[in-house]
Amino acid sequence: MSQQTQNANQVVNEYEREPVPKSAQKGWRSFLGMYAGEHTAGTEFVIGPLFVAHGVGALDFFAGLILGNILAVLSWGLMTAPIATAKRMTLYYQLERICGYKMVSIYNVVNALMFCFLAGSMIAVSATAVGIPFNLTMPTLNTWLPTSVGWVLAVLVIGFVTTLVAINGYNQVARFANVAAPWMILIFIAAALAILPELGVTRFSEFWTVANDVIWTGIPLEGVSKFSFWHVLFFAWFCNMAMHIGMSDLTILRYAKSRKYGFLSFSGMFIGHFIAWISSGILYAAFLQSSNFSSEFAPGPIAYGAAGIAGAVCVVIAGWSTANPTIYRAGLALQGVFPKLKTWKVTAWVGAVTSLAACFPALVMKLLDFVALYGLILMPMGAVIFADFYLSPKFGITQEMALNRKLSFSNATFFTWLITLGICLGLNIGLGIDIFFLGLPGWFIAVFTFLVLSKVLYPSRKEALI
Amino acid sequence: MKMLLIVVSCIGLALSIIPAVLVFLGKIDMQTNTTLMGIGMLLWFGTSPFWINNKTDNDNAPDR
């Protein structure tokens, strides 16, 4: 670790096990910029095109995005922010007070693994841009395994550099991400605007016809499943499920001066998850037209074709600026499980796992499914926090059970997690319900199961005497 | 000096978006557009790191 970073760490108090004091709370501008930047990332270069590949119709796409994004903003504003600003604690400490530190350790390992795969997909996205001058064989929609030795080398080099930066200077990367965010948003818009004439749009009045006939045609590519309005709505709502109803953003929003700042997530939803998805979808449609519906799926060359070197650099920065903090967060999550290991060693291991995962383009091609799975797996813990905060007192259940009953492992929480995911798996396999639709019933199952198990396994002292 | 940096950054952002609008309107070709976007990128990343984070840091200062 550099001297500069060590010095910075000595003076920065992260309030990991205490509420954030008033003096450390942050203004609205931080959150507006943070949400806009964090949700305009490398994933946007993949998600927009995948909706085109899955044959979403234009009306379904726009209506689904608008409604899904509104629901996501409401989830942040009405569920996450009120708890975050009332408690002002990290997700991990809040969970520890409810479930006990051993339970949180399991959560941390699962969380870290998910972070590794997410960062891995971003490194793979960056590799598609870095590989342009080396004429690398790019993956196709059906590619799951590494395409060539050159691909593996490109991924490993990017993974190594990303990990090195995560070990040495995360603060500088965060500041660089602030710099890159406004520019990236403009590149997304500019690239799409410049490519529209190639699709036949020379006036805005022509856009809707071309959108229906050429871009979001309602016909999926060969070998790809068909998506409907409901897929778009639920994906837009739940692609950040781990963060809003999964409560990961307690850690961020505990710094908010007001609970209303949760609604500032609209900047991320309507810039990153609306404009950027539309733009990247347009770019991919133009690529499909010019390549005679090639099955190649590589954000780097697609952006380069529309915006030149700025487009390729945008893909590298978007991928890298997402992968970097994700590796850092995964390292922190594991550090909580192995406190005796040095942070840089944990981060190095996380980087190694991430780089290995990134070699497999399946992570990019199946990103929609992976993002949905990632949210679903972590969501039950958010439901537990919600139930503990709002419902436990009403049902005579002790709040923050582990803290008040001195538990290191809450069976109620553990079995809530298992039962919820078990039922969701059953709904997926048994009834064939798509993974995108499982978050909503899963949340209610988790809340109900937690309340019942808490009541049965940990009756209040008065009830126990009866 | 800071004002000059902000102006150059804004020119960089303008060069990132305005040429694309001109391509859309059929006023310039794609090659010119990508060159101007590249110049815009250099201007933005060459100047904005010197002022953009200060604004956020001020916003995060505790209430008095």
- Give mean pLDDT, residues A281-285: 94
Q: Are B20 and A190 an interchain contact pair (Cβ–Cβ within 8 Å)? A: yes
Q: Are B48 and A179 an interchain contact pair (Cβ–Cβ within 8 Å)? A: yes
pLDDT at A317: 87
What secondary structure, in 3-state letters, does B13-47 show? HHHHHHHHHHHHCCCCCHHHHHHHHHHHHHHHHHH
Q: Which residue of B has its CA nearest to A196?
A: B24
Q: Flag whether pLDDT at A293 surpasses 90.
A: no
Q: Are A179 and B34 an interchain contact pair (Cβ–Cβ within 8 Å)? A: no
CA gap A420, A416 in Å, rounded? 6
Best interface-test mutation with B: which of A175, A184, A193, A255 has the largest number of B CBs within 10 A? A193
Query: Which is more confident, A321 or A418?
Result: A418
Query: Which is more confident, A6 or A206?
Result: A206
Instruction: Identify residue A326 by its one-letter amino acid code.
Output: T
pLDDT at B64: 38
Query: For residue range A220-256, what is the model confidence (pLDDT) as tens digits?
Result: 998 889 999 999 999 999 999 989 999 988 988 999 9
Q: Quick check: helix, strand or coil at residue A217?
A: strand
User: pLDDT band for position B57 (50/70/90)?
Assistant: low
> Is the CB of residue A210 less than 8 Å away from at least one CB of chain B?
no
User: pLDDT band for position A269 (50/70/90)?
Assistant: very high
Q: Which residue of B has its CA nearest to A34?
A: B56
CB-nearest to B53 from A175, A183, A308 is A175
Query: For residue range A86-145, what is the model confidence (pLDDT) as tens digits?
Result: 999 888 889 999 999 999 999 989 988 888 888 898 888 888 888 888 888 888 888 889
**Closest chain A C-alpha to B1 CA, distance in angstroms:** 19
Query: For residue range A151-190, what is the model confidence (pLDDT) as tens digits?
Result: 899 999 988 988 888 787 566 667 777 788 889 999 999 9
Q: Flag whether pLDDT at A395 surpasses 80.
A: yes
What secondary structure, in 3-state letters, does A370-417 show? HHHHHHHHHHHHHHHHHHHHHHCHHHCCCCCHHHHHCCCCCHHHHHHH
What percent of chain A has a predicted confidence (pLDDT) above 90? 53
What percent of chain A has a predicted confidence (pLDDT) above 70? 94
- Give mean pLDDT, residues A181-203: 92
- Give mean pLDDT, residues A414-419: 96
Query: Which is more confident, A322 or A352?
Result: A352
Residues of chain B positioned with their CB less than 8 A from the CB of A257: 63
Best interface-test mutation with A: which of B9, B29, B30, B32 has the largest number of A CBs within 10 A? B30
CA-nearest of A399, A426, A396, A415 to A453 is A415
CA gap A159, A125 in Å, rounded? 12
User: pLDDT band for position A4 (50/70/90)?
Assistant: very low
CA gap A110, A65 in Å, rounded? 29
CA gap A178, A79 in Å, rounded? 26
Query: Which is more confident, A37 or B26?
Result: B26
Mean per-residue pLDDT of chain A = 88
Query: For residue range B19-48, what is the model confidence (pLDDT) as tens digits?
Result: 999 999 999 999 999 999 999 999 999 999
- Give mean pLDDT, residues A12-20: 76
- Give mean pLDDT, residues A429-443: 93
Query: Distance between terminal CA atoms of chain A?
Result: 58
- Cα torsion through A83, A87, A90, A95, rounded to 10: -80
ipTM: 0.89
- Report yes or no: A160 and A127 within 8 Å, Cβ to Cβ: no
Give strand ranges (E) for A79-127.
Answer: none
Of A6-10, A24-28, A30-34, the poorest mean pLDDT is in A6-10
CB-nearest to A310 from B38, B48, B52 is B38
